C-alpha cells in the first residue's frame, strides 16, 4: 500500500471514496423502488439496512488484513461495551433515521443535509478538544455550510419545503452522525480504526436486523436481480470507502484528506439528478450545494504557518 503515501494518489483515492459515499443516495432510492419497499414500511427498511451494514462490516474486517491494522488489534473487555455503544449510535440509530427519512425526501436534498454533519463535528470538537478550537476559517466554513443546508429546503418561489419525516429525520441523522464521529475518533485513537469501523458496522447491522425482523410482512422485500445487485453494491461501497479512507488517513494529515469530502454532496446531488426520475436541480439547491461544498473546503483548508 506504499502507493497511497503519494499525495496525488491519496487525493484520487479520497475523491473516489467520496464519490462512492455520494452514490449511496440514488442507489438507496432506486433500491426502495426496485425491491417494492413502501415508504411507511419501517421493518422492511431496517432489514434492508441490516443486511447491508452487517455485510459491509464483515467486508471491512476482512479488508483490514491486506490494508494493515494500525495500532493494537486486541480489545480489552471495556472496549466491547464501547463498540456496542458505537454500533448502536453510529450505525443503528443513524441509519434508522437515514433510511426512513430518505423515503420522504429527495436524494439531492438528503446529500446536502447530511453534509451538515461535517460542520457539526467542527462545532463539537471546539468544546471537546483544547487543541481543536474554532478559528475564523472554521467559523466562516460553518456559516457557509449551515446556510447551504438551510437553502436546500426551499423550492422555486422561495417556498419552504420541509417534511419532518424526511428532512427532519435527515437532520437528526446528521446530528447523530456528528456525535458518532467524535466517539469513533476517540475509539480509533488507540485502537485499529479498521477494526473499530468493521465491528461498528457489523454490530449496528445486526441490531437493525433484530429490530426489523419481527414486523416483517410477506413480500415486504422483493429480491430481484437488479435489487440484489444494488444491495451488494451498497455493501461494497461502504466497505471499500471506509477501508481506503482509513488507509490514506494513516499516511496523511487529516486536513489534507478531509477537504475532499466536499465531493460527497456534489456526487450525491448530480447522481440523484441523473438516475432518479423527477429529481431536478433547482437554483436554490444548486446554490446550497455550492455553499456546502465551499464550507467543507474552507474548514479543512490549511495554509503554511497559519493554524
CB distance 14 to 260 below 8 Å = yes
Other beta carbons within 10 Å of 211: 17
Residue 304 binned pLDDT confidence (cut-offs 50, 70, 90): very low
Q: Residue 49: inside a domain, yes or no?
A: yes
Q: For residues 155 and 68, what is the distance between their CA atoms, to the nearest angstrom?
A: 47
Model's pTM, two decimal places?
0.85
Q: Residue 111 sits in which domain range?
A: 2-300
The answer to which of 93-97, 130-134, 155-159 has the lowest mean pLDDT is 155-159
Q: Residue 307: inside a domain, yes or no?
A: no
Q: Residue 208: inside a domain, yes or no?
A: yes
Is residue 69's pLDDT more than 70?
no
The total number of structural domains in the chain stands at 1
* pLDDT tens, position by position, 235-294: 999 888 888 887 787 677 666 677 788 889 999 999 998 899 888 888 888 888 999 888
Compute the average pLDDT of residues 70-83. 73
- Closest C-alpha among 122, 254, 93, 260 to residue 188: 254
Q: Phi and psi at residue 306, in whole multiples of 5°?
A: -120, 130
178 Cβ neighbours under 8 A, 6+ residues apart = 117, 120, 121, 123, 124
Q: For residues 281 and 109, what is the distance between their CA atoms, to the nearest angstrom?
A: 10
| 3-state helix, strand and coil shares in percent for the chain, rounded to the nearest 5 | 75, 0, 20
CB distance 121 to 182 below 8 Å = yes
pLDDT of residue 180: 86
% of the chain residues with pLDDT over 90? 35
Q: Residue 199: inside a domain, yes or no?
A: yes
Is residue 153's pLDDT more than 70?
yes
Is residue 307's pLDDT more than 50?
no
The answer to which of 32-46, 91-105, 114-128, 225-239 has the lowest mean pLDDT is 114-128
Give 194 or 166, the one with higher predicted confidence.
Answer: 166
285's enclosing H/E stretch is helix 283-300
Q: Residue 282: inside a domain, yes or no?
A: yes
Show the cell assigned to 45: 427498511
Ramachandran area for residue 18 (φ above 0: left; ψ -120 to 50: alpha; else beta): alpha
Q: For residues 211 and 175, what is the distance between their CA atoms, to the nearest angstrom?
A: 22
pLDDT of residue 158: 61
pLDDT of residue 296: 84
3-state secondary structure of 76: coil
pLDDT of residue 306: 36
Show the cell assigned to 64: 483490514
Q: Residue 196: inside a domain, yes or no?
A: yes
Q: Residue 306: inside a domain, yes or no?
A: no
The answer to which of 3-7, 70-74, 161-165, 225-229 has the lowest mean pLDDT is 70-74
The answer to which of 71-85, 88-102, 114-128, 202-216 has the lowest mean pLDDT is 71-85
**Which three-class secondary structure string do you get for 140-153?**
HHHHHHHHHHHHCC
Amino acid at each position: 500500500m506504499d502507493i497511497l503515501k503519494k499525495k496525488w494518489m491519496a487525493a484520487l483515492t479520497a475523491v473516489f471514496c467520496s464519490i462512492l459515499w455520494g452514490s449511496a443516495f440514488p442507489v438507496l432510492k432506486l433500491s426502495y423502488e426496485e425491491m417494492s419497499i413502501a415508504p411507511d414500511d419501517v421493518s422492511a427498511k431496517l432489514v434492508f439496512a441490516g443486511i447491508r451494514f452487517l455485510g459491509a462490516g464483515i467486508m471491512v474486517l476482512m479488508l483490514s488484513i491486506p490494508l494493515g491494522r494500525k495500532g493494537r488489534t486486541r480489545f480489552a473487555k471495556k472496549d466491547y461495551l464501547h463498540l456496542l455503544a458505537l454500533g448502536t449510535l453510529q450505525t443503528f440509530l443513524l441509519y434508522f433515521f437515514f433510511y426512513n427519512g430518505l423515503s420522504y425526501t429527495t436524494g439531492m436534498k438528503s446529500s446536502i443535509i447530511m453534509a451538515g454533519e461535517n460542520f457539526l463535528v467542527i462545532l463539537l470538537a471546539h468544546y471537546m478538544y483544547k487543541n481543536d478550537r474554532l478559528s475564523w476559517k472554521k467559523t466562516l466554513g460553518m456559516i457557509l455550510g449551515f446556510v447551504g443546508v438551510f437553502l436546500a429546503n426551499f423550492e422555486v418561489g422561495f417556498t419552504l419545503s420541509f417534511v419532518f419525516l424526511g428532512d427532519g429525520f435527515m437532520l437528526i441523522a446528521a446530528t447523530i452522525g456528528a456525535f458518532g464521529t467524535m466517539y469513533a475518533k476517540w475509539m480509533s485513537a488507540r485502537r485499529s480504526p479498521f477494526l473499530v469501523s468493521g465491528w461498528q458496522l457489523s454490530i449496528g447491522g445486526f441490531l437493525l436486523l433484530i429490530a426489523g425482523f419481527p414486523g416483517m410482512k410477506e413480500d415486504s422485500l422483493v429480491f430481484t436481480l437488479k435489487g440484489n445487485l444494488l444491495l451488494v453494491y451498497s455493501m461494497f461501497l461502504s466497505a471499500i470507502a471506509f477501508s481506503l479512507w482509513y488507509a490514506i488517513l494513516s499516511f496523511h494529515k487529516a486536513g489534507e484528506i478531509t477537504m475532499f469530502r466536499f465531493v460527497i454532496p456534489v456526487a450525491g446531488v448530480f447522481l440523484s439528478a441523473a438516475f432518479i426520475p423527477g429529481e431536478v436541480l433547482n437554483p436554490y439547491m444548486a446554490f446550497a450545494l455550492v455553499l456546502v461544498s465551499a464550507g467543507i473546503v474552507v474548514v479543512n483548508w490549511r495554509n503554511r504557518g497559519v493554524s
